[in-house]
Structure 1
Amino acid sequence: MINILLFAQLQEEIGQSQLMMDASEVTVQQVKEWLEEQYTLTSLQQTITAVNEEFATDETIVTSGDTVAFIPPISGG
């Protein structure tokens, strides 16, 4: 299982801050595609992604037990 953390508007869109994905080895891009399919999210491509608290790219491999966080851009002043 892969733990997925959502922040800001992603959390609001889904109504949850944490999800579990039943997978053993996928890329960050595949996690994004799964989320888009399951929850019809459209804003994942603009997010910053971290795997186990380290910045990650779409090609980063995620394995069972890992935590993936999607952090949308935040503006303010």
Structure 2
Amino acid sequence: MTVEVLYFAWMRERVGHPRETVQTDAATPRALIAELAALSEGHAAAFADGAVVRCAVDQVLTDLDAPLGQPREVAFFPPMTGG
């Protein structure tokens, strides 16, 4: 499947761009992370600490082990804080 992947905050800085289109057969966001981390050193750095990665699938927050289904968009970002 083709998925638009979005990166935010320091993850975007490490990857080097805010979005990219990828082909994947990943069943979960965690499996997609493994594929993305293998793309470059910047990707590997962005996903080095999986404990701080948050994910939204089609703009809905989700667990990294949830079924991915057939999303149009997957976004990755660090933990959010409120004020």
Range into which the TM-score falls when normalised by the shorter chain:
0.7 to 0.9
How much has 1:46 moved relative to structure 2?
Answer: 0.8
Higher relative CO (Cα under 8 Å, sequence separation at least 6) belongs to 1
Structure with more strand by fraction: 1
Q: Give the whole-Å Cα distance in 1 for the aligned partners of 2:36 and 2:50.
A: 9
Q: Given the two structures, how large is their TM-score scaled by the length of structure 1?
A: 0.79
* Structure 2 unaligned residues grouped into runs of 5+: none
Paired positions, count = 77
| Closer, same or farther: CA 45–19 of 1 in aligned 2, 3 Å | farther
| TM value normalised by structure 2 | 0.74
Percent identical residues: 21
Q: Which residue of 1 aligns with 2:78?
A: 72
Unaligned runs of 5+ in 1: none
Query: Which stretch shows the higher mean deviation, 66-75 or 29-38?
Result: 66-75
CA RMSD of aligned residues (A): 2.2
Q: Does structure 2 conserve the Cα–Cα contact (< 8 Å) formed by 1:4 and 1:19?
A: yes
